[in-house]
Amino acid sequence: MQHNFLYEQISKDISSAINDGEYHFNSRLPSLREVSEMYSVSMATAIQAYQTLEDKGLIESRPKSGYYVTSMLNKQIAQPAISQPTVTPTTVTVAQLAMTIVNDARQPRVVNLGAAVPGTDVLPLGQLARSMAGVSRREWKAAGNYEDARGNEVLRKEITRLMRDTGCRCKADEIIITNGCLEALNLALRTVAKPGDTIAIESPTYFGILQTIENLGMRALEIPTHPAHGIEPDALKHALKKQKISACILIPSFSNPLGSCMPEKNKQDIVALLEKAKIPLIEDDVYGFLSYEQPRPKSAKSYDKTGNVIYCSSFSKTVAPGIRIGWMIPGRFTEQVAYQKFLDNISTAVHPQLALAEIIHRGQFKKAVRQSARLYQHRMEQLRYWITEYFPEGTRLTVPQGGFVIWLELPKQIDALELYRKAMEKRISISPGQLFSSQTQYKHHIRLSCGAVDGELAHKSVKTLGKLAKNLCY
């Protein structure tokens, strides 16, 4: 009986250490001998303690390596339902709400649990600073001229190497450097559509896409979307038969806000479907490199045979948001996009491009994103655990396999905007679900992020948020 008590206490103690973040997801635990010495127990008791944790699915034994943390959740949590938007074109009106929430999140001493921004402690900012300083000294004359409208050739060549990881083989002259991914999306939409046209999108989708559609005077057509697999190909096929669509914007790899990842078969089918219909596909791939598993998922662009896919990405989530460097591969629309880019702002700043080229060339980019992905994976496991501990019964949440955002479906009696207001009173910022739809859907949904907040501050904030959510249930 005493041994039972001891091994149960040890397993409970280690379980608490995992949940408190002392042992990260996928990190190695103390060996059996170390556990035996730490708790002054026999090897048999140490084995029983680890066996208990294995039975709960918290750890696993790896041959000739030891024991590792596999999960912080010991129960299955339901995912949100497949979205069911009204499949009719809608005028978008999210701009005012979006700017209010973005500005609120920037207030001093606000815990930013809602914004999809990476943590400064995760980014390779030191390497970037050193590269910026170096290229500014060596290439100081470069600022005296306008850069090529398509972007610096050195950086474009380095990006071709990154694109191989997405399954896409391209040449430097097929790439255009932009001021972040949003400029790329804006250029793409203006090239392939005009005011009044209908753009097919995921539901829910990133509010920046909705803002762009709204700003260009276009309409959004929301397509039913699976919380894990992304847009439903059959639903898109049905919409194409019913509506005149000028373009389709998707985030196939770790979408914002769901964190969903489209299966390769679905990507192939959608690329082929839109290619046959001669409807351009605009692919947003800002989170694709932050995959928890390697190799990262292939891009939709990798299945493009006719130049119908316009690929858009940036370094905002992987290197530095403030550097404002993105890129796009416009396919058959390259000349039109390049000309529009020239008209808009002539070119993108040269020194940040040279610094990024250096970081990629030295292998620092790939190393940084691998490290970031591991940290975000741990933070996501921790965040999901806290949500299950503190949020109301019936809360559903997605299971992202990359990136740092997660989507929560709360009990229906909770108004996400009201929860947002209550949270802001506690200096906690979240993103209410209404932001992510042109149809003011998702009134009891929220997006959370583990990008910029970690550790005890994140723990306390999620606990407070869960309490506020529970209070709104009554």
Residue of 354, 356, 306 whose CA lies nearest to 330: 306
283 has which bridge partners?
250, 311
pLDDT surpasses 60 at 4: no
pLDDT surpasses 70 at 5: yes
Instruction: Determine the Cα–Cα distance for residues 105 and 454; give it in Å rounded to an integer.
Output: 16
Domains of the chain (ranges plus CATH)? 2-69 (1.10.10.10), 123-365 (3.40.640.10)
Q: Which two tokens stand for residue 282?
A: 């605009």
Q: Which two tokens stand for residue 40?
A: 């002054």
State pLDDT tens for residues 304-349.
Answer: 999 999 999 999 999 999 999 999 999 999 999 999 999 999 999 9
Q: What is the mean pLDDT of the chain?
A: 93
Residue of 158, 114, 217 whose CA lies nearest to 429: 114
Residue 2's pLDDT band (cuts 50, 70, 90): very low
State pLDDT tens for residues 48-102.
Answer: 989 988 877 778 888 878 898 876 665 568 899 999 998 899 999 898 889 999 9
Q: What string of DSSP letters covers 238-269?
A: HHHHHS--SEEEE--BS-TTT--B--HHHHHH
92-96, 226-230, 242-246, 255-259: which range is least confident on average? 92-96
- Counting other chains too, the contacts that 314-318 makes at CB distance below 8 Å and 24 or more residues apart are 314/178, 314/180, 314/181, 314/184, 314/286, 315/356, 316/118, 316/180, 316/181, 316/286, 317/116, 317/118, 317/286, 317/287, 317/290, 317/403, 318/118, 318/123, 318/289, 318/290, 318/365, 318/368, 318/369, 318/372
pLDDT at 73 (0 to 100): 60
Better pLDDT: 105 or 424? 424
pLDDT at 349 (0 to 100): 93
State pLDDT tens for residues 429-471.
Answer: 999 999 999 988 999 999 999 998 988 899 999 999 999 999 9
State pLDDT tens for residues 12-48.
Answer: 898 888 777 778 777 789 999 999 999 999 998 989 9
For residues 326 and 184, the answer to whether their CB atoms sit within 8 Å is yes
pLDDT at 122 (0 to 100): 94
State pLDDT tens for residues 166-211.
Answer: 999 999 999 999 999 999 999 999 999 999 999 999 999 999 999 9
The position carrying tokens 């299955």 is 76
> pTM above 0.95?
no
Instruction: Determine the Cα–Cα distance for residues 398 and 384; give it in Å rounded to an integer.
Output: 9
- HSE-up of 467 (CA within 13 Å, CB side)? 9
H or E stretch at 52? helix 43-55
pLDDT at 248 (0 to 100): 98
State pLDDT tens for residues 202-214.
Answer: 999 999 999 999 9
pLDDT surpasses 60 at 3: no
pLDDT surpasses 70 at 152: yes
pLDDT at 144 (0 to 100): 87
Instruction: Determine the Cα–Cα distance for residues 423 and 445; give it in Å rounded to an integer.
Output: 14
Amino acid identity of 469? A
For residues 294 and 328, the answer to whether their CB atoms sit within 8 Å is no
Amino acid identity of 365? F
pLDDT at 15 (0 to 100): 85
